Structure 1
């Protein structure tokens, strides 16, 4: 049996199209991740625009200057100090009614470069985010908060979740009472006070994990001919009439296919994780995922959020492998199989939603949308069946595990029962 699996695995990679697709996607991912590093930009405290590794080092230094536990007392002190600086030369009332562009121009004229860089520091935008209205700069938000509001920092974070539930994904969805209770309980389980610090490498992985949709295409190219190729080459009659053609051979084809899908996905994931952690650093693995955004209602560390996302992607890769095997066992046209897979991977991200919440929930189940950390952790996507509420991560894991478990036996049965022409 092991010899058969080894033979079928080699057979998968023997085709020129498989080699080109597999190598091409990995090269593409390497190029994307290299550009991700090179195109990183930030501004130093002196106003100099830095790029590449210099920008990464500068950003790390800026965040390291604020690392620590965000107690309510610390948040109060730091926002008070921020307000004192931001409104030392400009009256708060002057920026409240302005557009963000006009307020930015006003503050830029009133303060020197070093002061203005401190005022625009993303850390203060992060602290003020629970009160931020759309389109506001941090100093505009600071102009509208007082000491009493700042004292309730974590209450404001909880209220931000309730406002998001009221908003209903931009008006596209109305959360049921059970869904609201689910998300409220989830946010309430996040330990307080939060810790803040640098986790640039892990954040970059989560920002780039969507590129793992590309390996699904390579998996599709490699696995499409597993059964369909036998039909086209007219070798199915020989295989199915052999002693183990309907048993061990079919099992070997499936095992080799799933091994390839898992190994190729892991290799692609290692490219993304390896480059991100090598250049952005592996620090901050144990920091809460809320360092990315305070509106994330998950009790996860950055490393846990990363591995959860990558794990869902692995199940997705295996589920797609099972689906490709089923299509390959049913269809003779390899072009048709490839077209179906590409449509499921990429075209689902191009369908106009138009504020339709039901369609939105359906499209979030496909790779191009599901492999998105913002959607996975911040968008509050949940599915309800009776009293049971499950978030997007849980549904994705269950769905693709089900696809795998359903499609693999179906593919084996379809090929075994195939009537030789």
Structure 2
């Protein structure tokens, strides 16, 4: 069995199309990482905008700060004192009612930290300016305000019809008032970035290119009649093809995704791994109480599961169709369906179905309150997505095995 798996493994990798796809995807991902680093921007202590490698060095100097009530009060008081002093204030909203000098030297270097505090106090979907919010909430319990904001978001989702009453209760139980720590988690933010989730889709496409000819290629070469007449043609050989394909899919995904993570961590370091997700989603309430490191782990594991899911679907299509190119076309539509199927245009049921497609990994957000209820049990979207890929993957593999084993070779 081991020899058969190695043979099928080598057969997949010997394809020039597969080699070209892996190379092209790797080069594209490296280029995107390079561009994301060059576009990185921050501000130094003088308020000067710096980008690229200089921004990387500046980001590494950031110290973590626990936003307890004393720290929050101090920052809010300092801001309000500036706005009350005629020499350090202005009537310009674009400068947050500060003078240009104070805005550049005090506000810009602390912008994300101040915005995190502002959004913790701000009412849901509020467009109220920072000065008003801080004046109305000075000395108010910051941790409780953050909890209340999440509760308001869950209530809004329930009234909007996005979650049921039972699902709203499920999310309410997950709301925690844990202390918020501010800091820079640039490497982890880079890995979680929207474009990076799209890279998983590209990796899935590469996997599909390798998996599409596994059975369809035998039809095209008319080798299926010979293979099925061999001693283990209808048992071990088919199993070897399936196992080799999943090993190929796993190696491509793990290799490329681990490469992305290693590059970001090598450049920015692992600082910020234990920071809460609030430092990434500054303006929205976070649904799951995860740290940045835990969120990256969730995305990484889900990416592997959806890659397995699309691999199983590809094997099933490959056993049904006699053209590998037809299989790749169908896979491409499935993988990139998220770019032209907007869930907000559909009802509750269709939204929940679309969220379980492999392409949904591109839209995976920890601001999402989508949940699934089965009987008396409720599960989050990441949990249900992982379970759906496993269940459907097993079903597609069994169908692929049965279809290739039982098809009529003389037709």
Same fold (TM over 0.5): yes
For the residues of structure 2 that align with 1:279 and 1:309, how far apart are their CA atoms? Answer: 21
Name which of structure 1's ranges 244-253 and 382-391 shifts more when overlaid on structure 2.
382-391
Cα shift at 1:37: 1.1
Name which of structure 1's ranges 273-282 and 391-400 shifts more when overlaid on structure 2.
273-282
Choose which of 354, 360, 366 in structure 2 pairs with 1:369.
Answer: 360
1:50-94 deviation digits (Å, cap 9, x = unpaired)? 111211222343x42xx23222222222222222224433899x8
The aligned residue for residue 351 of structure 2 is: 360
Cα shift at 1:3: 0.9
Choose which of 195, 208, 214 in structure 1 pairs with 2:181.
Answer: 195
Cα shift at 1:316: 0.7
Cα shift at 1:357: 4.5
The aligned residue for residue 19 of structure 1 is: 19
Choose which of 116, 126, 130 in structure 1 pairs with 2:116.
Answer: 126
In the alignment, is residue 276 of structure 1 matched against residue 264 of structure 2? yes
For the residues of structure 1 that align with 2:353 and 2:87, how far apart are their CA atoms? Answer: 49
Choose which of 274, 296, 321 in structure 1 pairs with 2:311.
Answer: 321
Residues 145 and 275 of structure 1, relative CA distance in 2, 3 Å threshold: same
The aligned residue for residue 98 of structure 1 is: none
For the residues of structure 2 that align with 1:52 and 1:195, how far apart are their CA atoms? Answer: 26
Choose which of 60, 70, 75 in structure 2 pairs with 1:73.
Answer: 70
Preserved CA contact (<8 Å) 1:345 1:368? yes
Preserved CA contact (<8 Å) 2:372 2:379? yes
Residues 39 and 367 of structure 1, relative CA distance in 2, 3 Å threshold: farther
1:366-416 deviation digits (Å, cap 9, x = unpaired)? 3443244xx431121212234322111111111111122111122111111
User: What is the TM-score with the length of structure 2 in the denominator?
Assistant: 0.90
For the residues of structure 1 that align with 2:308 and 2:114, how far apart are their CA atoms? Answer: 42
For the residues of structure 1 that align with 2:163 and 2:138, how far apart are their CA atoms? Answer: 27
**For this pair of structures, how many residues does the alignment match?**
404
Residues 3 and 154 of structure 1, relative CA distance in 2, 3 Å threshold: same
In the alignment, is residue 8 of structure 1 matched against residue 5 of structure 2? no
Choose which of 360, 380, 388 in structure 1 pairs with 2:377.
Answer: 388
Name the SS for the 1:389 alignment partner: strand
For the residues of structure 1 that align with 2:298 and 2:41, how far apart are their CA atoms? Answer: 28
The aligned residue for residue 190 of structure 2 is: 204
The aligned residue for residue 330 of structure 2 is: 340
In the alignment, is residue 83 of structure 1 matched against residue 80 of structure 2? yes
Residues 334 and 20 of structure 1, relative CA distance in 2, 3 Å threshold: same
Name the SS for the 1:365 alignment partner: coil
Cα shift at 1:49: 2.5
Preserved CA contact (<8 Å) 2:76 2:134? no
1:294-335 deviation digits (Å, cap 9, x = unpaired)? 622323222221111100100111111111001101111222
Cα shift at 1:149: 5.6
Cα shift at 1:251: 0.9
Residues 420 and 411 of structure 1, relative CA distance in 2, 3 Å threshold: same
1:164-184 deviation digits (Å, cap 9, x = unpaired)? 223329x85343221111111
Choose which of 269, 280, 286 in structure 2 pairs with 1:292.
Answer: 280
Residues 350 and 135 of structure 1, relative CA distance in 2, 3 Å threshold: farther
Preserved CA contact (<8 Å) 1:327 1:337? yes
Name the SS for the 1:9 alignment partner: helix
The correspondence of residues 174-193 of structure 1 with structure 2, limited to 5 A, is 174-188=162-176, 192-193=178-179
In the alignment, is residue 252 of structure 1 matched against residue 240 of structure 2? yes
Preserved CA contact (<8 Å) 2:151 2:175? no
Cα shift at 1:156: 1.1
Preserved CA contact (<8 Å) 2:88 2:102? no
Name which of structure 1's ranges 38-47 and 201-210 shifts more when overlaid on structure 2.
38-47
The aligned residue for residue 388 of structure 2 is: 399
Where in structure 2 are there 5+ consecutive unaligned residues? none
Preserved CA contact (<8 Å) 1:89 1:110? no
For the residues of structure 2 that align with 1:90 and 1:325, how far apart are their CA atoms? Answer: 70
Preserved CA contact (<8 Å) 1:41 1:55? yes
Preserved CA contact (<8 Å) 1:223 1:324? yes
Choose which of 152, 157, 164 in structure 1 pairs with 2:141.
Answer: 152
Cα shift at 1:118: 4.3
The aligned residue for residue 242 of structure 1 is: 230
The correspondence of residues 93-112 of structure 1 with structure 2, limited to 5 A, is 103-104=93-94, 107=97, 111-112=101-102
